[in-house]
Structure 1
Protein backbone atom coordinates (compact mmCIF):
# COMPACT_ATOMS: atom_id res chain seq x y z
CA UNK A 1 0.00 0.00 0.00
CA UNK A 2 1.46 3.36 -1.03
CA UNK A 3 1.33 6.01 1.61
CA UNK A 4 0.60 9.46 0.24
CA UNK A 5 -0.11 12.90 1.54
CA UNK A 6 -3.62 13.79 2.55
CA UNK A 7 -3.06 17.45 1.60
CA UNK A 8 -1.63 17.03 -1.89
CA UNK A 9 -2.05 14.73 -4.81
CA UNK A 10 0.69 12.34 -5.95
CA UNK A 11 1.82 14.67 -8.76
CA UNK A 12 2.23 17.65 -6.42
CA UNK A 13 4.03 15.45 -3.87
CA UNK A 14 6.52 14.38 -6.57
CA UNK A 15 7.07 17.98 -7.66
CA UNK A 16 7.69 19.10 -4.08
CA UNK A 17 10.07 16.18 -3.57
CA UNK A 18 12.13 17.27 -6.59
CA UNK A 19 12.25 20.87 -5.36
CA UNK A 20 13.88 19.95 -2.05
CA UNK A 21 16.09 17.18 -3.43
CA UNK A 22 19.11 19.52 -3.69
CA UNK A 23 18.67 20.62 -0.10
CA UNK A 24 18.34 17.09 1.24
CA UNK A 25 20.92 15.31 -0.92
CA UNK A 26 23.33 18.16 -1.58
CA UNK A 27 24.51 19.35 -4.96
CA UNK A 28 24.65 16.61 -7.54
CA UNK A 29 25.29 16.61 -11.25
CA UNK A 30 23.42 19.87 -11.76
CA UNK A 31 25.49 21.72 -9.15
CA UNK A 32 24.12 23.78 -6.33
CA UNK A 33 21.74 26.67 -6.34
CA UNK A 34 24.27 29.01 -4.79
CA UNK A 35 24.63 32.25 -6.71
CA UNK A 36 27.97 32.46 -8.44
CA UNK A 37 28.85 35.78 -6.80
CA UNK A 38 28.57 34.16 -3.35
CA UNK A 39 31.19 31.50 -4.07
CA UNK A 40 34.76 32.23 -3.03
CA UNK A 41 37.19 32.91 -5.83
CA UNK A 42 39.86 30.27 -6.21
CA UNK A 43 43.40 31.13 -5.17
CA UNK A 44 45.84 32.24 -7.85
CA UNK A 45 48.46 29.90 -9.24
CA UNK A 46 51.17 31.21 -6.93
CA UNK A 47 48.93 31.67 -3.87
CA UNK A 48 48.10 29.14 -1.14
CA UNK A 49 44.52 27.91 -0.97
CA UNK A 50 42.24 29.51 1.58
CA UNK A 51 41.05 27.65 4.64
CA UNK A 52 38.71 28.30 7.53
CA UNK A 53 40.69 26.04 9.86
CA UNK A 54 42.89 28.04 12.25
CA UNK A 55 46.49 26.96 12.56
CA UNK A 56 48.84 26.96 15.48
CA UNK A 57 48.46 26.80 19.23
CA UNK A 58 47.60 30.47 19.58
CA UNK A 59 44.26 30.07 17.82
CA UNK A 60 42.98 26.82 19.29
CA UNK A 61 40.82 28.37 21.98
CA UNK A 62 43.08 27.22 24.80
CA UNK A 63 43.13 29.69 27.68
CA UNK A 64 46.21 31.75 28.40
CA UNK A 65 48.77 29.73 30.34
CA UNK A 66 47.67 26.32 29.02
CA UNK A 67 48.26 24.43 25.80
CA UNK A 68 45.44 22.72 23.96
CA UNK A 69 46.93 19.37 25.07
CA UNK A 70 46.74 20.51 28.72
CA UNK A 71 43.09 21.48 28.28
CA UNK A 72 42.32 18.09 26.75
CA UNK A 73 44.11 16.17 29.54
CA UNK A 74 42.41 18.18 32.30
CA UNK A 75 39.06 17.60 30.62
CA UNK A 76 39.83 13.86 30.42
CA UNK A 77 40.59 13.82 34.14
CA UNK A 78 37.34 15.66 34.88
CA UNK A 79 35.29 13.12 32.94
CA UNK A 80 36.05 10.49 35.56
CA UNK A 81 35.49 12.64 38.65
CA UNK A 82 31.78 12.94 39.35
CA UNK A 83 30.28 16.14 40.75
CA UNK A 84 29.23 14.26 43.86
CA UNK A 85 32.91 13.65 44.70
CA UNK A 86 33.66 17.39 44.89
CA UNK A 87 34.54 18.83 47.25
CA UNK A 88 36.37 15.74 48.38
CA UNK A 89 39.62 14.19 49.42
CA UNK A 90 41.77 11.65 47.61
CA UNK A 91 39.60 8.69 48.64
CA UNK A 92 36.39 10.35 47.40
CA UNK A 93 38.04 11.20 44.08
CA UNK A 94 39.41 7.66 43.69
CA UNK A 95 36.02 6.17 44.51
CA UNK A 96 34.32 8.33 41.92
CA UNK A 97 36.97 7.57 39.30
CA UNK A 98 36.68 3.82 39.87
CA UNK A 99 32.89 4.04 39.74
CA UNK A 100 33.17 5.85 36.41
CA UNK A 101 35.59 3.18 35.11
CA UNK A 102 38.60 5.47 34.81
CA UNK A 103 41.65 4.09 33.01
CA UNK A 104 44.68 2.97 35.01
CA UNK A 105 46.71 6.13 34.33
CA UNK A 106 43.98 8.37 35.79
CA UNK A 107 43.71 6.14 38.88
CA UNK A 108 47.51 6.21 39.28
CA UNK A 109 47.52 10.03 39.07
CA UNK A 110 44.79 10.33 41.70
CA UNK A 111 46.64 7.91 44.00
CA UNK A 112 49.60 10.36 44.01
CA UNK A 113 47.46 13.08 45.66
CA UNK A 114 48.00 13.86 49.36
CA UNK A 115 45.44 12.05 51.52
CA UNK A 116 44.67 14.94 53.88
CA UNK A 117 43.72 17.62 51.32
CA UNK A 118 40.18 18.44 50.14
CA UNK A 119 39.72 19.56 46.56
CA UNK A 120 36.84 21.80 45.49
CA UNK A 121 37.30 21.65 41.71
CA UNK A 122 38.92 19.57 38.99
CA UNK A 123 41.28 22.52 38.42
CA UNK A 124 42.54 22.19 42.00
CA UNK A 125 43.12 18.47 41.45
CA UNK A 126 44.91 19.24 38.19
CA UNK A 127 47.19 21.78 39.94
CA UNK A 128 47.91 19.35 42.81
CA UNK A 129 49.10 16.83 40.21
CA UNK A 130 51.74 19.35 39.14
CA UNK A 131 50.09 20.81 36.06
CA UNK A 132 49.38 24.42 35.16
CA UNK A 133 45.90 25.96 35.02
CA UNK A 134 45.01 29.02 33.01
CA UNK A 135 46.33 32.35 34.21
CA UNK A 136 44.02 35.08 35.45
CA UNK A 137 43.10 37.87 33.05
CA UNK A 138 42.62 41.24 34.71
Structure 2
Protein backbone atom coordinates (compact mmCIF):
# COMPACT_ATOMS: atom_id res chain seq x y z
CA UNK A 1 0.00 0.00 0.00
CA UNK A 2 1.30 3.37 -1.00
CA UNK A 3 1.21 6.21 1.53
CA UNK A 4 0.15 9.62 0.32
CA UNK A 5 0.30 12.75 2.44
CA UNK A 6 -3.07 14.40 2.94
CA UNK A 7 -1.58 17.70 4.10
CA UNK A 8 -1.83 20.83 2.03
CA UNK A 9 0.76 23.47 1.56
CA UNK A 10 0.93 26.34 4.10
CA UNK A 11 -0.73 28.80 1.72
CA UNK A 12 -3.69 26.48 1.02
CA UNK A 13 -4.02 25.67 4.73
CA UNK A 14 -4.20 29.38 5.57
CA UNK A 15 -6.81 29.99 2.85
CA UNK A 16 -8.99 27.15 4.09
CA UNK A 17 -8.65 28.42 7.66
CA UNK A 18 -9.90 31.87 6.61
CA UNK A 19 -12.90 30.36 4.81
CA UNK A 20 -14.23 28.70 7.96
CA UNK A 21 -13.15 31.41 10.41
CA UNK A 22 -16.61 33.03 10.44
CA UNK A 23 -18.33 29.75 11.16
CA UNK A 24 -15.96 28.92 13.99
CA UNK A 25 -15.92 32.36 15.63
CA UNK A 26 -19.54 33.29 14.91
CA UNK A 27 -18.77 36.35 12.82
CA UNK A 28 -21.89 37.59 11.01
CA UNK A 29 -21.87 37.65 7.26
CA UNK A 30 -19.42 34.83 6.76
CA UNK A 31 -20.20 32.65 3.76
CA UNK A 32 -23.95 32.97 4.23
CA UNK A 33 -25.94 30.88 1.87
CA UNK A 34 -27.62 33.06 -0.72
CA UNK A 35 -31.17 31.96 0.14
CA UNK A 36 -30.63 33.07 3.77
CA UNK A 37 -29.65 36.62 2.83
CA UNK A 38 -32.65 39.02 2.83
CA UNK A 39 -33.32 40.88 -0.37
CA UNK A 40 -33.14 44.67 -0.26
CA UNK A 41 -36.36 46.65 -0.61
CA UNK A 42 -37.41 47.39 -4.16
CA UNK A 43 -37.51 50.89 -5.60
CA UNK A 44 -41.25 51.21 -4.97
CA UNK A 45 -41.16 49.72 -1.46
CA UNK A 46 -40.40 51.54 1.79
CA UNK A 47 -37.21 50.78 3.68
CA UNK A 48 -37.85 48.17 6.36
CA UNK A 49 -36.86 48.89 9.96
CA UNK A 50 -36.44 46.17 12.56
CA UNK A 51 -37.40 48.60 15.33
CA UNK A 52 -41.12 49.45 15.54
CA UNK A 53 -41.79 53.19 15.71
CA UNK A 54 -38.10 53.92 15.20
CA UNK A 55 -38.81 57.46 14.00
CA UNK A 56 -40.93 58.28 17.05
CA UNK A 57 -38.25 56.89 19.36
CA UNK A 58 -35.59 58.93 17.60
CA UNK A 59 -37.70 62.08 17.89
CA UNK A 60 -38.29 61.54 21.61
CA UNK A 61 -34.61 60.79 22.15
CA UNK A 62 -33.57 63.95 20.29
CA UNK A 63 -36.10 66.02 22.24
CA UNK A 64 -34.91 64.52 25.54
CA UNK A 65 -31.29 65.50 24.92
CA UNK A 66 -32.29 69.14 25.35
CA UNK A 67 -34.27 68.67 28.58
CA UNK A 68 -31.81 69.01 31.42
CA UNK A 69 -32.22 66.83 34.50
CA UNK A 70 -31.59 69.93 36.61
CA UNK A 71 -34.76 71.43 35.10
CA UNK A 72 -36.99 68.67 36.46
CA UNK A 73 -39.30 68.60 38.14
CA UNK A 74 -40.16 71.87 36.49
CA UNK A 75 -42.78 73.94 34.76
CA UNK A 76 -42.74 75.37 31.26
CA UNK A 77 -40.41 78.28 32.13
CA UNK A 78 -37.88 76.12 33.98
CA UNK A 79 -37.80 73.59 31.13
CA UNK A 80 -37.32 76.36 28.57
CA UNK A 81 -34.42 77.93 30.53
CA UNK A 82 -32.73 74.54 30.80
CA UNK A 83 -33.22 73.83 27.09
CA UNK A 84 -31.76 77.22 26.15
CA UNK A 85 -28.73 76.48 28.33
CA UNK A 86 -28.24 73.18 26.47
CA UNK A 87 -28.47 74.93 23.09
CA UNK A 88 -31.83 73.52 22.03
CA UNK A 89 -32.91 74.22 18.44
CA UNK A 90 -35.93 76.41 17.69
CA UNK A 91 -38.33 73.51 17.14
CA UNK A 92 -37.67 72.16 20.66
CA UNK A 93 -38.07 75.62 22.19
CA UNK A 94 -41.33 76.10 20.26
CA UNK A 95 -42.60 72.77 21.62
CA UNK A 96 -41.80 73.84 25.18
CA UNK A 97 -43.61 77.14 24.61
CA UNK A 98 -46.75 75.13 23.71
CA UNK A 99 -46.88 73.46 27.14
CA UNK A 100 -49.62 74.64 29.48
CA UNK A 101 -48.61 77.18 32.09
CA UNK A 102 -48.32 76.18 35.75
CA UNK A 103 -48.01 72.41 35.19
CA UNK A 104 -44.98 70.69 36.74
CA UNK A 105 -43.37 67.85 34.75
CA UNK A 106 -41.24 65.11 36.29
CA UNK A 107 -40.06 63.18 33.21
CA UNK A 108 -39.37 63.75 29.54
CA UNK A 109 -42.14 61.30 28.64
CA UNK A 110 -44.65 63.42 30.58
CA UNK A 111 -43.60 66.43 28.52
CA UNK A 112 -43.80 64.36 25.34
CA UNK A 113 -47.31 63.19 26.24
CA UNK A 114 -48.40 66.76 27.03
CA UNK A 115 -47.31 67.72 23.51
CA UNK A 116 -49.63 65.01 22.16
CA UNK A 117 -46.87 62.79 20.82
CA UNK A 118 -47.16 59.78 23.07
CA UNK A 119 -48.38 58.52 26.39
CA UNK A 120 -46.80 58.84 29.79
CA UNK A 121 -47.07 56.37 32.62
CA UNK A 122 -47.20 59.24 35.08
CA UNK A 123 -49.34 62.28 34.53
CA UNK A 124 -48.05 65.75 35.51
CA UNK A 125 -49.29 67.30 38.80
TM-score of the aligned structures, taking structure 1 as reference length = 0.57
Alignment partner of 1:93 is 2:85: no
**Structure 1, unaligned runs of 5 or more:** 1-29
Counterpart in the other structure of 1:50: 37
Aligned residues: CA RMSD: 2.9
Counterpart in the other structure of 2:55: 69
Please report how far the alpha carbon of residue 94 of structure 1 lies from its aligned counterpart in structure 2 after TM superposition. Answer: 0.1
Q: Could you list the per-position Cα deviations for residues 93-112 of structure 1 after superposition, in whole angstroms to 9, with x for gaps in the alignment?
A: 00010000000000001000
Counterpart in the other structure of 1:40: 31
SS at match of 2:104: coil
Aligned residues between the structures: 94
**Structure 2, unaligned runs of 5 or more:** 1-14, 24-29, 39-46
Q: Output the CA distance in 1 between the equivalents of 2:120 and 2:17.
A: 45
Counterpart in the other structure of 1:125: 111
Larger RCO (alpha carbons 8 Å, 6+ apart):
1
